[in-house]
Amino acid sequence: MPLLVMKFGGTSVADLARIENAAKKVQAEVERGYDVIVIVSAMSGETNKMVAYVEGTSKLYDAREYDAVVSSGENVTAGLMALRLQEMGIAARSWQGWQVPINTTSAHSSARFMSIPRENIDAKFAEGFKVAVVAGFQGVSAEGRVTTLGRGGSDTTAVAFAAAFAAERCDIYTDVDGVYTTDPRITNKARKLDKIAFEEMLELASLGAKVLQTRSVELAMRYKVRLRVLSSFEDTDENSGTLVCDEDEIMESKVVSGVAYSRDEAKVTLVRVEDRPGIAAAIFGPLAEAGVNVDMIVQNISEVEAGSVKGATTDMTFSCPVNQIARAQKAMEDAVASGTISYDGIVVDSDVAKISVVGIGMRSHAGVAATMFKALSKENVNIKVIATSEIKISVLIDRKYMELAVQALHDAFELEKA
Ligand code: ADP
Ligand code: ASP
Ligand code: MG
């Protein structure tokens, strides 16, 4: 039997009517002759609610219990979806992560897949079951504890199942009808893309476009999963949505294909750090150990102040998620206390956002940075930090200009035009 993976996100299973709507999409595929693995998220808002319960109970919570609590929303929707399908006369049952089992690492709240053995689900398909409804976002560690995969992790569950079961396609049903040139909530000029290359999607996702979890794109790229994003609220067929695929399946791509943003960034500057070999390692080692996700890094040209006893010093700036500032500051204070680094001051700017333009065409085209900077300067948006890679340019700016900057860049690169 050919097999499909269909994933429904939080808004697509937000209440019983939407679960029924999603179940009808599953029914249509069963009627076309597919066995289906359905991956469900928690009803929208549920995971946030449970995160708040945990944080309201314990500040330095036990990560194993956090996972036990926040994974539970998916159990509810998996059971309800199976029941709805049964009501429609379709042989279906639900599976929690440990029942499959979905084996993951023990890194609670950011676990990674180790293996997804097929036997149990295959045996049920062989018995005549048509649909396996699997709770997304969760797994089980070697210690037998429930794990979760990080926010948005059901996308990754879906792709991992598509790879493990050699699915014909992995369809991600969500509240938008595909991947757009930028978040359609920020500008109504955003244009839906029919296809996007894995590498571009990977950059967009990791730079903030939450339509797919970054890890899901990585897995799809590695295991050559045909990955599609489409709407759960519209009539869809095999040509709907956006296909995430290999670069060579796309005839011609624009130099820039999308703009991503990440709202909750912070910028930290260590002022006049002693400049000597090993200083970067002495700063970023402890930050990594403290679990701070450092993104952009800028080291200024060092200067030797007249009369300074310190020798050469430099300013070191990095960015990280705004909710990790306390951890970052503590890591730096501990490093100073232990004598591994010294600096004159630490300056934190917690009101910044990161805006990025992404496109594989950048590899062979000059001038993208110039166009980007000109568009921002026309809007009087000051750039605080710049970082580039082969197919992206990112800048940090004041958060209050975020929407304006996204719109200006969308216009400057004429992304509304195909
Ligand atoms: P789900 O609950 O289905 O997993 P998410 O909220 O995680 O859905 O992701 C879908 C949202 O991603 C959309 O509602 C949209 O606001 C946002 N988004 C951000 N960037 C993009 C983009 N480039 N294209 C489409 N959607 C985007
Ligand atoms: N429910 C989880 C979350 O809100 C996982 C997901 O929806 O993908 O992050
Ligand atoms: Mg999501």
Contacts 24+ apart (CB under 8 A), 59-62: none
Mean pLDDT is highest, among 82-96, 243-257, 313-327, for 82-96
What spacing in Å lies between the alpha carbon of 39 and ligand 3's midpoint?
12
Mean pLDDT value of segment 65-73: 98
How far, in Å, CA of 164 to CA of 350, rounded?
42
pLDDT digits (tens, 9 = 90+) for 90-122: 999 999 999 999 999 999 999 999 999 999 999
Can you give the three-state secondary structure of 144-172, one letter per residue?
Answer: CCEEECCCCCHHHHHHHHHHHCCCCEEEE
- Smallest CA-to-CA distance from 261 within 372, 337, 183, 174 is with 183
pLDDT digits (tens, 9 = 90+) for 170-184: 999 999 999 999 999
Mean pLDDT value of segment 391-416: 97
Q: CB of 396 within 8 A of CB of 352?
A: yes
Q: Which residue has the higher pLDDT, 305 or 289?
A: 289
Q: Which residue has the higher pLDDT, 312 or 304?
A: 312
What spacing in Å lies between the alpha carbon of 209 and ligand 1's midpoint?
7
pLDDT at position 194 over 60: yes
Ligand 1, closest atom to CA 175?
Answer: 14
- Put simply, whether the predicted model's pTM sits higher than 0.75 gets the answer yes
What are the structure tokens assigned to 287, written together?
A: 């930050």
Helices (H) and strands (E) in the chain, counts: 12, 18
185 lines ligand 1 (CB under 6 A): yes
What sign for the dihedral angle of Cα 41, 42, 44, 49? Answer: negative
Q: Which pLDDT band, with edges at 50, 70 and 90, does 310 fall under? A: low
Residues 6+ away with beta carbon under 8 Å from 400: 351
Ligand minimally distant from the alpha carbon of residue 231: 1
How far, in Å, CA of 404 to CA of 258, rounded?
15
pLDDT at position 309 over 60: no
First-to-final CA distance of the chain: 38
What sign for the dihedral angle of Cα 118, 121, 124, 126? Answer: negative
What are the structure tokens assigned to 280, written together?
A: 């970067």
Mean pLDDT value of segment 396-412: 98
42 lines ligand 2 (CB under 6 A): yes
pLDDT at position 313 over 60: yes
Which pLDDT score, from 0 to 100, does residue 307 have? 62
Q: What is residue 108's DSSP assignment? A: T
Question: How many Cβ atoms sit within 10 Å of the Cβ of residue 284?
Answer: 16
How far, in Å, CA of 293 to CA of 321, rounded?
7
Residues 6+ away with beta carbon under 8 Å from 144: 98
Which pLDDT score, from 0 to 100, does residue 418 have? 85
